[in-house]
Structure 1
Amino acid sequence: MFMTSHSSISAEIENVLAQELGVALSSVRAAVQLLDDGATVPFIARYRKEKTGGLSDSVLRQLRERLTYLRELEDRRATILNLLKERGVLEDSLRIAVESAITKNELEALYTPYKVARRSKAQIALEAGLEPLVDDLLEVPLAGLYDIAEAYVHPAEAGANPDTAVPDSAAALAGARAILLEYALYDHHLMESLRERLWETGVITSRATAAYRTPGPGQPNKFSDYFDFSERIRRIPSHRLLALFRAEKEGVVKVSIDVAEVPPALSRISGEERARAEKLAEEYEHTRHTYEAEVANSLGIPVQVLNTVSDEERVLGWLASTVKSSWRSRILPRLANEIRTRLFERAEAAAIEVFASNLRDVLLAAPAGQRTILGLDPGLRTGVKVAVVGPTGAVLDTAVIYPHAPRNLWTESLATLERLVLEHGVDLISIGNGTASRDTDRLAAELLKNLAAQGVTEVQKVTVSEAGASVYSASALASAELPDLDVSLRGAVSIARRLQDPLAELVKIDPQSIGVGQYQHDLSQTLLARSLDATVEDCVNSVGVLVNQASAALLSHVAGFNKTISQNIVAYREEHGPFTRREELLRVPRLGPKAYEQAAGFVRIPDGAEPLDASAVHPEAYPLARVIVEDAGGLVGGAVPAQALARLRPEDYINSEFGLPTVRDIFAELERPGRDPRPEFRTAEFAPGIESIEDVQPGMILEGTVSNVAAFGAFVDIGVHQDGLVHISQMSTGYVADPHALVKSGEVVTVRVTEVDPARKRISLSLLLEAPEPKKRRRR
């Protein structure tokens, strides 16, 4: 893949991207050019479809990530080639291997043997003139070992480094062994063959450490599934690998990578267990022998030597020991480390993808809309924090009530909530799902009964995730937005607002605090943040932003805007009043033509001076849109009637500037200006009387909200402070490749309880509401 000129490298990278993504080369070239010119992914995906052939935002994200990776790969390749050339070790075979490497891991594996600048034992041995000894040992495997080695014993030559002395035959043989080992490590064809073979057929194993081998009193360990675990390297799922590495990090297990499952010691076992261990030992020795045979063959050592039972008085015994020690002490550990890195990078990429997918589902969850909402942040000793927010999110009232132990002011708390609901015309009650959530839910249920007795029946209660509410409460952003409000009450405001508009509220919180990922602290924080920021940007721009209402936090995610520009927009709005046209944004300090071009189509101004400003039509296409509106007979209520548009042909409006994709987008926008892609709002009803894991029984049919989706299934909040797991095998009667295809975070689902384990705090659920019939045994 390596080329000498920059233009050749760029062309090769574009070819690779086209092949990997399965798109036209012309589309890749156009996208790369637009990205290099500073265009954002949302802008390219929405408004440059003609140039890219309609590449979606998700494909463009992949393209940008891979483009960055491949450019870094080429930079590193050039650096390594220069270093190898400077050290005088760049032989043709090594150069070809470096130029052919297609991943950073492959490059680093090739470079690793040459990385250390200090003199190795093998180099010292070569300087001491021991290379001929290696040749002699390989030629006469049946000769006496020390007789041959004795001929190479000599003191250091005058003026030479004293390290080059060979004081005795043992030192000569140690030097010869170091040379042979380096031959193997520097044989990149051998190492690549062994590495890929280990990846395809090797196993990753974990065993409980000494402190955890004997179960102690108390709760079972959450990593007990990995106390005696083994799986093929290439088959281990990403989530399981991350769990293994987390268990190892916490000192619970020891993880190893080997050619096959390592048998336990035979001294402490008997019976069937011993028979199984003996079989494992036989299989393990046979498999390891095949790897050692490959090492021997690469060194020119007859493979039959490995089967010889001999001490090291003869050369063949020494050669066999050299091969075995080389494999076991140096080659396997190096390959295992490289495979661990490869496994982790694969698992990391998968975990980040799942995290981003869950975040997208949460951000694009159905908004309750502009309603008055009572937010409840549950608590016991510190009380339940209460906030009422109006349709625009403004705080109308706050309170703290103490319905639960130790104060138990239930009646007084009900009276306070009833007053707030009636006084402010509350439509929805938003209850955080943290500590005391179910107790607070009972309080809200009794409140609704009291209201219904008075003829107020429209109010509903909803349980929402309170993840990140405390983070927001203590943030500088919350201090700026709610300066006169106590920190403890800001969480209740956030809980209320996130029911109104999850996207507008959750963008104020670090995505990692929203609670939709797994093992996030084990992942590269740079890669994770980049992926999540991109996800937030895509979500914000897919929905659009009301520029006269949006917070600076929300505006900062609009394509083309940054934190400074967003703050300037809010400041300008407060000083000069609402924007009446999109083009007025150009008056905002630091918001230049480039930023305006990228952002204009994603900001909305309903009821402004220009009707098209309420839509996703970009200002650059206004002239064309006005022609279409005129031909359709004008706007009715801010939109063009569908039947009027149906009489027009999009193909008739194609010109040199705008192709069919853009024209069709304009038609869609004129019919439904500023349409919201998010689903309709719906609430989940938790079953009464099911308040803790002890109340949950197999066979129950319950309603809940999907809180998280993983590669192996989905977690569902059924209202007992412990999410249940719908394993991927319980999601459908057919094969499920991706759980995200069936459920999304925030979605309301009905589930059947299949198993409950209170000791381990595990609830198993199924989307299959009827238990499948047991399979009949076939008669013989």
Structure 2
Amino acid sequence: MTDSQIFSSIANELNLKPKQVSSVANFLDDGATVPFLARYRQEATGGLDEEQIRSVRDKLEFHRTLEDRKKTILKTIDEQDKLTDELKEQITACSDLNTLEDLYLPYKPKRRTKGDMAKEKGLEPLAELIWEQEIEQGDPTEHAAKFVDEEQEVASAEEAMDGALDIVAEWINESVDVREKLRDIFQEHAVVKTEKNPAVEERTNFEDYYEFSSKAKFLKPYQILAINRGERENVLFVNVELWEEVTLENIDNIVITNDMSIFTPHLQDAVEDAYKRLLFPSLERELRNNLTERADAHAIETFATNLANLLMQPPLDHKVVMGIDPAYKSGCKVAVVDETGKYLEGTTTYPTPPQKKVAEAEEVFAGYIDKYNVNLIAIGNGTASRETEQIVANFIQKRKEKHPDEELNYMIVNEAGASVYSASKVAAEEFPDLEAAQRGNISIARRVLDPLAELVKIDPKSIGVGLYQHDVNQNQLAQSLDDVVESCVNQVGINLNTASAPLLSHISGLSRRVAKNIVKRRETEGTFSTREQIKDISGVGEFRFQQAAGFMRIPESSNPLDNTAIHPESYEAAEKLCNLFSIDISNLKEQHEAISKKLNNIDKTQISEQIGVGIPTLELIIENLQKPGRDPRESLPKPVLREDVMKMEDLSTGQTLEGTVRNVVDFGAFVDIGVKQDGLLHISNMANRKVEDPHDIVAVGDIINVEIVSLDLERGRIGLSIK
């Protein structure tokens, strides 16, 4: 396929125009990033958003990979002098990888087979007689007897027939029609059965699958991933089953074209042999692989959605935070950071078992609060979290008796990945004088101030909002999560004068090396005062500047546009617009209401022509003139802050509480309601209707009111509802 044919094919698949696909492809081939295209090239792409552009990108990659594979296959078959015009046309027109590999199968280099050995013995002509099915009278044995040859080690007519049928079985296996029919049967009727490995005696997490059976097409993604893991850990035996008799009849209907042929019974034998020895194992593997790919895609999508919602949690401004990384024997690590996230001081306390030095810990807490005016305590949600929470809650209650007007709360913070960060190169560069154990608590404290800025320092797979994330295709997972991080960082934008190198490295067009160069420049020459100064950084040329500039903010700049999402290439147009409507560009924030009145209900077509930009760019300029420096996370609900703690024993069915959604999975959501155990909001309790996808109802970080519908104190289980 030519590029234009590929563009047309993708346009049909995604319900777009070929021109849109062509435009995106050309930009991506030139190195443009998805966020840049979605925000600053809407005129060229026809208004495509990030999701649509990434879909085009992924389809392009698939089609180009398919075309490369076709070229390799055509070259290989041609080198064997077996490439006919008909076969070339079939391969060239193929749009499916499975069918393409089926076409290639007869010509694919492989190990010496039973059929190959039979051909070496001169039995291929007999196989052709059987395959052609033209002889309707006589004895098949007489035809086979003609191929008896002691020199070729064919001792009898029966051996000749067996060898010929080995060849026929391979032809059946290589038949595109047979494989396509059998593939359809597998997809529609295959049953996946699992059973416990008798050698496993201890309890496992796979008890639901000890005696399990389901049609493959009805398997849920989480079931597929659980079965795969159980098999990998040798806890489960997994089998795929089909109704063999009916399946063989379907293959017979394709292979046997003349029931009157004297070779029909032998062909039926060859069909059964091909099915059991070659086709079934091959298509069973293919089915399992397809199921895994489907489950992987779903799990990756779920993880990506959860990660996006977590990264976009609103920052808490104007808080001096004391972060606590809870533990038992090794003690609770404590760190204080100021409103900007700067580390002030830290130590280790031992209030939890076995030491139980609560009074000493409270003395440390009080000292830090008095010294630094701490007004929020952030507690990691890992080991010893609830014991630490109880200690902190008691401490706050006692302190409020002496300081009734003091603002002091605590919150539970998802600490997933804090230990990964603490041992990372990034953490070592940030805090070279601290031990690794004293860095995780800083990460916990900073996550409150700006979740996005802190979490981008951690491998997304370690952030803990996925399901079976270590079991899925790691390359696809990494690509998807990188897309999410890139999207979130560029959607928010970054302060060029405060952002860390890891945060800067996710800005459109910037590499890790350039990000480090920006930080070095800040440290040696001071803060940036204009966006144009980015061009002075080593590694930043005109193209990289074009990709990155619009996503950087400089609040200190003398040009207010440098603190907006308006791209420098549109500054002239923005100034023209301001002149048209008498807007003082040097004082945007104070004119918010006036600007809104002046720019509401304008003739966008006329104005866009006057200032020389397209309507999408005009709309972007207007939005940012009205809200310069706006953080899209500002409008989201802030995290729940607490002063006291509850125990499960304090709960009762029918009780209504406020909670924070911690994770969303296929069967529901886990919600922190302020007790030791997160409650499960099952998908069946999300609405008075059938909910197909929990993400349609809740998202990670949502603050929701829930009703307790079930309690199991012994197993620590809480059932919730929002109906």
Please give the range of the TM-score, normalised by the shorter of the 2 chains: over 0.9
How far, CA to CA, are the matches of 1:486 and 1:119 in structure 2? 60
Partner of 2:593: 642
Q: Deviations over 1:432-456 (max 9, x none)?
A: 0011111111111122212321224
Q: Deviations over 1:729-779 (max 9, x none)?
A: 2221123233222211122233344456688776543332xxxxxxxxxxx
Of 100, 110, 127, 1:107 maps to: 100
How far, CA to CA, are the matches of 2:673 and 2:3 in structure 1? 52
Query: Bigger shift: 390-399 or 753-762?
Result: 753-762
Q: Does 1:289 align with 2:242?
A: no
Matched residue SS, 1:644: helix
Gaps of 5+ in 2: none
| Percentage of identical aligned residues | 39
Partner of 1:681: 638
Query: Bigger shift: 711-720 or 229-238?
Result: 711-720
1:135-150 matches, within 5 Å, as: 146=141, 148-150=143-145
Matched residue SS, 1:211: coil
Matched residue SS, 2:681: strand
Query: Bigger shift: 469-478 or 449-458?
Result: 449-458
Alignment RMSD: 2.6
Of 306, 323, 331, 2:271 maps to: 323
How far, CA to CA, are the matches of 1:479 and 1:135 in structure 2? 71
Q: Deviations over 1:553-611 (max 9, x none)?
A: 11111101111111111110111111111111111122111111111111001132111
Q: Does 1:550 align with 2:499?
A: yes
How far apart are residue 149 of structure 1 and its match?
3.3
How far, CA to CA, are the matches of 1:704 and 1:359 in structure 2? 19
Of 224, 246, 249, 2:207 maps to: 224
Partner of 2:483: 534
Partner of 1:665: 620
How far apart are residue 654 of structure 1 and its match?
1.0
How far apart are residue 153 of structure 1 and its match?
1.1
Of 256, 259, 272, 1:300 maps to: 256
Give the partner amino acid of 1:437.
S
TM-score of the two chains, using structure 2 as the length reference:
0.92
Evaluate the alpha carbon distance shift between residue 19 and residue 301 of structure 1 in structure 2; reply closer, same or farther with a 3 A threshold: closer
Q: Does 1:31 align with 2:24?
A: yes
Q: Does 1:450 align with 2:375?
A: no
How far apart are residue 166 of structure 1 and its match?
1.2
Evaluate the alpha carbon distance shift between residue 91 and residue 522 of structure 1 in structure 2; reply closer, same or farther with a 3 A threshold: farther
Q: Does 1:248 align with 2:197?
A: no
Matched residue SS, 1:386: strand
2:194, 2:209 within 8 Å by CA — same for their partners in 1? yes
How far, CA to CA, are the matches of 1:386 and 1:716 in structure 2? 26
1:160-309 matches, within 5 Å, as: 164-212=152-200, 216=201, 220-259=203-242, 284=243, 288-300=244-256
2:396, 2:643 within 8 Å by CA — same for their partners in 1? no
Matched residue SS, 2:411: strand
Matched residue SS, 1:647: helix
Evaluate the alpha carbon distance shift between residue 113 and residue 519 of structure 1 in structure 2; reply closer, same or farther with a 3 A threshold: farther
Give the partner amino acid of 1:767.
I
How far apart are residue 475 of structure 1 and its match?
1.0
2:191, 2:240 within 8 Å by CA — same for their partners in 1? yes
Q: Does 1:712 align with 2:667?
A: yes
Evaluate the alpha carbon distance shift between residue 689 and residue 683 of structure 1 in structure 2; reply closer, same or farther with a 3 A threshold: closer
- List 4+ stretches of structure 1 deviating above 6 A: 139-145, 301-305, 694-697, 757-761
1:183, 1:299 within 8 Å by CA — same for their partners in 2? no
Aligned residues: 712
How far apart are residue 718 of structure 1 and its match?
4.0
Partner of 1:595: 544
Evaluate the alpha carbon distance shift between residue 633 and residue 295 of structure 1 in structure 2; reply closer, same or farther with a 3 A threshold: closer
How far apart are residue 76 of structure 1 and its match?
0.6
Evaluate the alpha carbon distance shift between residue 716 and residue 91 of structure 1 in structure 2; reply closer, same or farther with a 3 A threshold: farther
Of 559, 570, 573, 1:624 maps to: 573
Partner of 2:280: 332
How far, CA to CA, are the matches of 2:238 and 2:102 in structure 1? 21
Query: Bigger shift: 709-718 or 166-175?
Result: 709-718
How far, CA to CA, are the matches of 2:238 and 2:83 in structure 1? 36
Of 411, 416, 432, 1:462 maps to: 411
Q: Deviations over 1:9-68 (max 9, x none)?
A: 211111122122222222111111111111111111111111111111111112112211
How far apart are residue 364 of structure 1 and its match?
0.4
How far, CA to CA, are the matches of 1:184 and 1:14 in structure 2? 36
Q: Does 1:654 align with 2:608?
A: yes
Partner of 1:47: 40
1:448, 1:457 within 8 Å by CA — same for their partners in 2? no
How far apart are residue 647 of structure 1 and its match?
2.6
Give the partner amino acid of 1:497.
R
How far, CA to CA, are the matches of 1:322 and 1:761 in structure 2? 59
Give the partner amino acid of 1:664.
E
How far apart are residue 639 of structure 1 and its match?
5.5
Matched residue SS, 2:251: helix
Q: Deviations over 1:363-384 (max 9, x none)?
A: 1011112421110111111111
TM-score of the two chains, using structure 1 as the length reference:
0.86
Query: Bigger shift: 527-536 or 751-760?
Result: 751-760
Evaluate the alpha carbon distance shift between residue 621 and residue 153 of structure 1 in structure 2; reply closer, same or farther with a 3 A threshold: same
How far apart are residue 397 of structure 1 and its match?
1.7
How far, CA to CA, are the matches of 2:512 and 2:241 in structure 1? 50
1:397-408 matches, within 5 Å, as: 397-408=345-356
Evaluate the alpha carbon distance shift between residue 765 and residue 174 of structure 1 in structure 2; reply closer, same or farther with a 3 A threshold: farther
How far, CA to CA, are the matches of 1:303 and 1:463 in structure 2? 74
1:299-378 matches, within 5 Å, as: 299-300=255-256, 318-378=266-326
2:296, 2:472 within 8 Å by CA — same for their partners in 1? yes
Q: Does 1:584 align with 2:538?
A: no
Evaluate the alpha carbon distance shift between residue 732 and residue 91 of structure 1 in structure 2; reply closer, same or farther with a 3 A threshold: farther
Give the partner amino acid of 1:556.
S
How far apart are residue 303 of structure 1 and its match?
7.1
Partner of 2:470: 521
Partner of 2:422: 473
How far, CA to CA, are the matches of 2:462 and 2:260 in structure 1? 60
How far apart are residue 684 of structure 1 and its match?
5.8
Evaluate the alpha carbon distance shift between residue 643 and residue 504 of structure 1 in structure 2; reply closer, same or farther with a 3 A threshold: same
Partner of 1:265: none
2:595, 2:625 within 8 Å by CA — same for their partners in 1? no
How far, CA to CA, are the matches of 2:137 and 2:196 in structure 1? 45
Query: Bigger shift: 141-150 or 438-447?
Result: 141-150
How far apart are residue 412 of structure 1 and its match?
1.9
Matched residue SS, 1:673: coil
Of 365, 372, 390, 2:338 maps to: 390
Q: Deviations over 1:387-433 (max 9, x none)?
A: 11001111112121111212111122112212211221112111100
Evaluate the alpha carbon distance shift between residue 758 and residue 644 of structure 1 in structure 2; reply closer, same or farther with a 3 A threshold: closer
Partner of 1:732: 687
Evaluate the alpha carbon distance shift between residue 179 and residue 757 of structure 1 in structure 2; reply closer, same or farther with a 3 A threshold: farther
Give the partner amino acid of 1:405.
P
